[in-house]
Chain A
Amino acid sequence: MTFEELEHTADVLVRVRAASINELFADAARALFSVMYGPCRDAGIVQRLTVEAGDPESLLHDFLSELLFIADVENVVLCRFELDVGEGSLSAVMHGEPFDPAKHAGGTIIKGISYSGLRIVKDDETYGVDVLFDV
């Protein structure tokens, strides 16, 4: 795991650190699915997605919001993300498994991705972001 859960009384606050912007977005996505469904394995489900937004934070926000939608309507749990994050847009190929109540129903529903405190920072060679999930 390349993300950690920080203390937050009401919601779930995760801190992600990664060596590249692609990995940062992928780890944030993994954090989201981990909170929602717990363990996940790549069992042949593939989803593709493109997102456009005006700034890097909005791009991350909209990408994660889109994942909540996909999880809800496609009944899938995703765990491996091949991402190409560019200036103002991203494309993703995502792998996972079908939602299985016996395995995944005990997680925490994320209702939305908050803009509060959402800021991507880069120091030396590391990208970082704290993301607040409303649960």
Chain B
Amino acid sequence: MIEGVKRAGLFEWEVPIGFVPGMRVPGRFFLSEDLGQTLEAGAVQQLANVATMPGIVGNSLAMPDIHWGYGFPIGGVAAFDMTEGVISPGGVGFDINCGVRLIASPLTGDDLAGTKRELIEEIFKAVPTGVGARSARTLSNKDLTGMMTDGVGWCVEHGFGLPSDLVHCEEQGRMEHADPDAVSAKARQRGLPQAGTLGAGNHFLEIQIAEEILDAPAAAAMGITEGQICFMIHCGSRGLGHQVCTDHLQILEKATKKYGISLPDRQLACAPVESPEGRSYFGAMACAANYAWANRQMITHEVRNVVAKTFGIADEDLPLVYDVAHNVAKYERHTVDGRERELCVHRKGATRAFGPGASDIPPVYEEIGQPVIIPGSMGTSSYLLRGTATAMERSFGSTCHGAGRVLSRTQAKKDITGKALREQLAKEGILVRAHSDSVLAEEAPGAYKPSNEVVRVVDRVGLSTLVARLEPQGVIKG
């Protein structure tokens, strides 16, 4: 383990105050010995840097998929007092509400036999992907405002979804406090032609099979049975979200000086939560988050159209299991030292994992806790978990978000070519469709921490518990 980091439990490590100058609280992260071998010193330094920010409550936290990012580490979770604390775009990232959703189906593996290649090809045609992808639809500025303020609600109103989709989505697919006036004309210009596009990089759309059920009652509540085909969509807020982050980073850079906040990294630029600058960022970020939910909803609509046409089944037979955000800041109520407080919780590469009975959970999941969806890397297992009371106590109701990289993109490309990878996956029965072989190589499974080890740690610590293992059948990469 990195020098100065102390063991605090079987899977738990503490970064003591003093690890970097100015820390207000300790850092704490969850990791197994195996995962510890790939932990970068830079990631621990970033975790400690977050602990220096004003008004941080509890610990600066990181999940087992912790890795070196910019500003906050990826896998980072930090909560700030609403009065004394700050809000920072560096704790959310450029891809605001990058997230993932899972759609169930009545199909089984047998139904896919003979139709899988055609199905992937049809979805690839229907969902714009890759660098420079443009929406097949022409939207007005009024539509864009609707997406930013009402998120999935706008989609359902305009025929891109079912009323039940609203319920089965974090925040019901719409964050409050969205302020379109805080979103620049530039961000709008980028968002307008990109609605309903997947993007590129680590974003994907997968056809998966529920290979193993690990918690039968919870899986039943989520409508998942062994052998069932599901569809997973992983993407975010596209150029609109990137521009919102860029614009407000500039504003908050100035605010950091204005409010006399001293920081070890410029990327942590921040302002008091309740300051005009802090509120303006939150309002714009909420718009981008809503746009991302609408984006995933519009892609869902296209997937349903293709699946309905191919198999003759209704949209209602392709229900949304749940949709979770990976990069977001929220005003939430948490109990700290026996007292309930409103906090501004940042999750950067981390998933909300609210336990049974918590607020904002649809009635159908009230008893089991919210579904948590953890995407694997290309060609590896994804997992369905559920939120827990332990997460509420230990991590402000948060858990991991995915596998986490261990190899740089340059190294990954040296190790395997995209073509060789595509052929290797085809032998395993996994069909891959992408714009470029280069992106396939960059996103090779070997470039990521094993997702099974990451979810094993959160399950053992109790930050969320395993419900089902999903295996890829077909992959669409941007």
Partners in one complex: yes
**Which A residues touch B71, using CB under 8 A?**
114-116
- Kindly provide the distance from the CB of B241 to the nearest chain A CB, expressed in whole angstroms: 8
Question: When the two chains form their complex, are residues B190 and A9 in contact, meaning their CB atoms are under 8 A apart?
Answer: no
- Kindly provide the distance from the CB of A63 to the nearest chain B CB, expressed in whole angstroms: 12
Interface stretch of the complex, out of A17-25, A41-49, A100-108: A100-108
* Residues of chain A from 45 to 102 with CB closer than 8 A to chain B in the complex: 57-58, 62, 65, 68-69, 72-73, 75, 99, 101
State whether A106 and B410 are in contact (beta carbons under 8 Å apart), knowing that A69-B186, A69-B190, A111-B94 are contacts in the complex: no
Q: Which among B67, B70, B246, B407 has the highest number of chain A CB atoms within 10 Å?
A: B70
- Residue of A7, A107, A112, A116 near B246 (CB, 8 A) is A112
Question: When the two chains form their complex, are residues B190 and A12 in contact, meaning their CB atoms are under 8 A apart?
Answer: no
- Residue of B69, B95, B131, B243 near A69 (CB, 8 A) is B243
Answer whether residue A120 sits at the interface, using C-beta atoms and an 8 A cutoff. Answer: no
- Kindly provide the distance from the CB of A39 to the nearest chain B CB, expressed in whole angstroms: 12
Interface size on B, residues (CB 8 A): 47
Q: How far is B94's CA from A113's CA once the two chains are assembled, in angstroms?
A: 9
- Residue of B189, B410, B478 near A73 (CB, 8 A) is B189
Q: How far is B405's CA from A105's CA once the two chains are assembled, in angstroms?
A: 23
Answer whether residue A16 sits at the interface, using C-beta atoms and an 8 A cutoff. Answer: no
Answer whether residue A1 sits at the interface, using C-beta atoms and an 8 A cutoff. Answer: no
Answer whether residue B267 sits at the interface, using C-beta atoms and an 8 A cutoff. Answer: yes
Question: When the two chains form their complex, are residues B245 and A108 in contact, meaning their CB atoms are under 8 A apart?
Answer: no
**Considering only CB atoms, which chain A residue lies closest to B95 in the complex?**
A111
Answer whether residue B144 sits at the interface, using C-beta atoms and an 8 A cutoff. Answer: no
Question: When the two chains form their complex, are residues B408 and A7 in contact, meaning their CB atoms are under 8 A apart?
Answer: yes
Question: When the two chains form their complex, are residues A8 and B68 in contact, meaning their CB atoms are under 8 A apart?
Answer: yes
- Kindly provide the distance from the CB of B454 to the nearest chain A CB, expressed in whole angstroms: 15
Q: How far is B443's CA from A108's CA once the two chains are assembled, in angstroms?
A: 11
Answer whether residue B378 sits at the interface, using C-beta atoms and an 8 A cutoff. Answer: no
Question: When the two chains form their complex, are residues B407 and A9 in contact, meaning their CB atoms are under 8 A apart?
Answer: yes
Answer whether residue B470 sits at the interface, using C-beta atoms and an 8 A cutoff. Answer: no
Question: When the two chains form their complex, are residues A11 and B239 in contact, meaning their CB atoms are under 8 A apart?
Answer: no
Q: How far is B189's CA from A104's CA once the two chains are assembled, in angstroms?
A: 21
Interface stretch of the complex, out of B216-224, B359-367, B431-439: B431-439
**Which A residues touch B408, using CB under 8 A?**
7-9
**Considering only CB atoms, which chain B residue lies closest to A8 in the complex?**
B408
**Which B residues touch A107, using CB under 8 A?**
131, 200, 436, 438
Answer whether residue B6 sits at the interface, using C-beta atoms and an 8 A cutoff. Answer: no
Question: When the two chains form their complex, are residues B199 and A109 in contact, meaning their CB atoms are under 8 A apart?
Answer: yes
Answer whether residue B269 sits at the interface, using C-beta atoms and an 8 A cutoff. Answer: yes
Question: When the two chains form their complex, are residues A116 and B70 in contact, meaning their CB atoms are under 8 A apart?
Answer: yes
**Considering only CB atoms, which chain B residue lies closest to A108 in the complex?**
B201
**Considering only CB atoms, which chain A residue lies closest to B246 in the complex?**
A65
Question: When the two chains form their complex, are residues A72 and B190 in contact, meaning their CB atoms are under 8 A apart?
Answer: yes
**Which B residues touch A65, using CB under 8 A?**
246
Answer whether residue B9 sits at the interface, using C-beta atoms and an 8 A cutoff. Answer: no
Question: When the two chains form their complex, are residues A36 and B131 in contact, meaning their CB atoms are under 8 A apart?
Answer: yes
- Kindly provide the distance from the CB of A117 to the nearest chain B CB, expressed in whole angstroms: 8
- Kindly provide the distance from the CB of B69 to the nearest chain A CB, expressed in whole angstroms: 5
**Which A residues touch B249, using CB under 8 A?**
112, 115
Answer whether residue B250 sits at the interface, using C-beta atoms and an 8 A cutoff. Answer: yes
**Which A residues touch B69, using CB under 8 A?**
10-11
**Which B residues touch A109, using CB under 8 A?**
131, 199-201, 478
**Considering only CB atoms, which chain A residue lies closest to B98 in the complex?**
A111
**Which A residues touch B189, using CB under 8 A?**
69, 73
**Considering only CB atoms, which chain A residue lies closest to B194 in the complex?**
A72
- Residue of A73, A104, A105, A135 near B201 (CB, 8 A) is A135
Residue-wise interface mask of B (74-114) relative to A, using a CB-CB cutoff of 8 A (1 in contact, 0 not)? 10000000000000000001110000000000000000000
**Which A residues touch B243, using CB under 8 A?**
69
Answer whether residue B260 sits at the interface, using C-beta atoms and an 8 A cutoff. Answer: no
Question: When the two chains form their complex, are residues A134 and B132 in contact, meaning their CB atoms are under 8 A apart?
Answer: no
Answer whether residue A32 sits at the interface, using C-beta atoms and an 8 A cutoff. Answer: no
- Kindly provide the distance from the CB of A130 to the nearest chain B CB, expressed in whole angstroms: 12
Q: How far is B73's CA from A11's CA once the two chains are assembled, in angstroms?
A: 12
Question: When the two chains form their complex, are residues B70 and A101 in contact, meaning their CB atoms are under 8 A apart?
Answer: no
Question: When the two chains form their complex, are residues B405 and A115 in contact, meaning their CB atoms are under 8 A apart?
Answer: no
Answer whether residue B242 sits at the interface, using C-beta atoms and an 8 A cutoff. Answer: yes
Question: When the two chains form their complex, are residues B131 and A106 in contact, meaning their CB atoms are under 8 A apart?
Answer: yes
Q: How far is B243's CA from A118's CA once the two chains are assembled, in angstroms?
A: 19
- Residue of A9, A75, A106 near B406 (CB, 8 A) is A9
**Considering only CB atoms, which chain B residue lies closest to A102 in the complex?**
B435
Question: When the two chains form their complex, are residues A10 and B435 in contact, meaning their CB atoms are under 8 A apart?
Answer: no
Q: How far is B346's CA from A4's CA once the two chains are assembled, in angstroms?
A: 33
Question: When the two chains form their complex, are residues B406 and A108 in contact, meaning their CB atoms are under 8 A apart?
Answer: no
**Which B residues touch A57, using CB under 8 A?**
266
**Which A residues touch B267, using CB under 8 A?**
114-116
Q: How far is B130's CA from A36's CA once the two chains are assembled, in angstroms?
A: 11
**Which B residues touch A105, using CB under 8 A?**
130-133, 435-436
Q: What are 19 pairs between A and B in contact, CB < 8 Å?
A: A7-B410, A7-B411, A9-B40, A9-B67, A9-B406, A10-B69, A37-B131, A68-B242, A69-B243, A101-B130, A101-B132, A104-B131, A105-B132, A106-B438, A107-B436, A107-B438, A111-B93, A115-B265, A134-B70
> Could you list 8 further interchain pairs (A-B, Cβ under 8 angstroms) beyond the known A10-B68, A105-B133, A109-B201?
A10-B67, A10-B74, A73-B190, A109-B478, A111-B242, A114-B70, A116-B71, A134-B70
Chain A residues with CB under 8 Å of chain B are 5, 7-12, 36-37, 57-58, 62, 65, 68-69, 72-73, 75, 99, 101, 104-109, 111-116, 118, 132, 134-135
Chain B residues with CB under 8 Å of chain A are 40, 67-71, 74, 93-95, 130-133, 186, 189-190, 199-201, 239, 241-243, 245-246, 249-250, 253, 265-267, 269, 405-411, 435-439, 442, 478
